[in-house]
Amino acid sequence: MDYGTTFIIMAIVFGLFMAWGIGANDVANAMATSVGSRAITIKQAIIIAAVFELAGAVLAGGEVTKTIRKGMVDSDLLVSSPELVIYGMLSSLLAAGIWLLIASWKGWPVSTTHSIVGAIVGFAAVGIGIEAVMWGKVGFIAMSWVVSPLLAGTIAYLLFMSVQRLILGTSQPLENAKKYVPIYIFFVGFVIALVTVFKGLKHVGLELSLLQSYLLAFVVGVIAAIIGKILIQRITIDVKDDKDFHFTNVEKVFAVLMMFTACAMAFAHGSNDVANAVGPIAAVVSIVENDGVVSQESVLPLWILGLGGVGIVLGLAMYGRRVIATVGSGITELTPSRGFAATLAAATTVVLASGTGLPISTTHTLVGAVLGVGLARGIGALNMQVVRTIFMSWIITLPAGAILSIIFFFTFKEIFS
């Protein structure tokens, strides 16, 4: 522990770098459907991310952080050598951050969860021993990488089919859009509020009964729907706009809905993916502050969650445009109605996973949802070349994180031992 302060400073710097990478890559994914469908601008996306990513990280980010921090490596094997955990966590943050920088530069929407899990498993297996990795936990997380895009794709497909049946496929699509879109907005507010109350508010010391939780979520949903209805009534409808594209005015109504789903997705992302950056920071801080004791449980300070949120917003603002272009317009052509179905499906899947402590990949979830919307229009609506490139980048991510992490682990071990 001679280097305790140095380790904490390194953890904060590397954690900020990792969070910056999450913002440049993963938040760009989360905002891509809204920006790609032209429902919001890049500037609006950054403002929404700043508010709701931070809120999601602070209110609902602790559950997943526990999984990343103490669920991957058997701490009983490390009681006598806490410095190995510190080297490993620092290596994981730096390795994942560098891989995210490369992927963002290429415009590849890769998984930050893949990156950090691969890095942690890499250093633990090679630097400590195969038996140090909790393989059951790794298998549980790996299973979620398959389940989450399938689940999000299915929800997105069903949502968009409901939009087709209730609105786009009817004789009066504009009137029906005005009637049904507030109901969709209610659903957005209800789902996000309910999961936040169930899993997030204990971090701020608020305990509610089951009935109180549902009532509060219902009230939030109703308020969101009322605000949405007021905004819809203010839309300027011009019949001439429908001359080139039959649903132009209908899509204006859905653009209002996309504002709400963008907020929901940012909150969902902050609650799930901030863990990837702050979990290892929390582990290092905990070991240093407890004089080298490797504990299974440790209090997660709010400043660490806030740090992750700030890094994420900076990454999106500075370098998020390339990945936004890939997901927002590269996979399939998005309109606000299609983007809504994809974003709400992804947000619902991510928030549910965050509530259960399962660190799923937001990228896999969102790409799965966009594919689901594309398939609802037929396989020809998908750009299979882009889809193939995305899948290849996903496969490379895990070994890339592991290899970089192993190199940094032995480097730090050499420097500080």
Residue 362 and residue 266: Cα distance in Å, rounded?
A: 11
What pLDDT tens digit does each residue of the chain (417 aa) get? 578 889 999 999 998 999 899 888 877 776 777 887 777 888 888 888 888 888 877 776 666 555 555 556 666 666 667 788 889 889 999 999 999 999 888 888 888 878 888 888 888 888 888 887 878 777 777 777 778 888 888 888 998 899 889 988 888 888 898 899 899 889 888 877 776 676 555 555 667 777 888 898 899 999 999 998 998 888 887 777 666 666 778 888 888 888 887 887 788 777 767 777 777 887 788 788 877 666 655 556 778 878 887 888 888 888 887 788 777 667 777 788 888 888 888 878 877 776 666 667 777 888 888 888 888 776 767 788 888 888 888 888 888 999 999 999 999 999 987
Q: Which domain holds residue 84?
A: 4-416
Number of domain units in the chain = 1
> b vs e for 94-127, b when ≥16 Cβ sit within 10 Å of the residue's Cβ?
bbbbbbbbebbeebbbbbbbbbbbbbbbbbbbbb
Q: Give the CA dihedral 100, 102, 108, 110, nearest 10 degrees.
A: -30
99 within 8 A of 14, measured Cβ to Cβ: no
DSSP letter at 188?
H
Could you give the dihedral angle defined by the CA atoms of residues 31, 32, 38 and 42, in that order, rounded to the nearest 10 degrees? 60
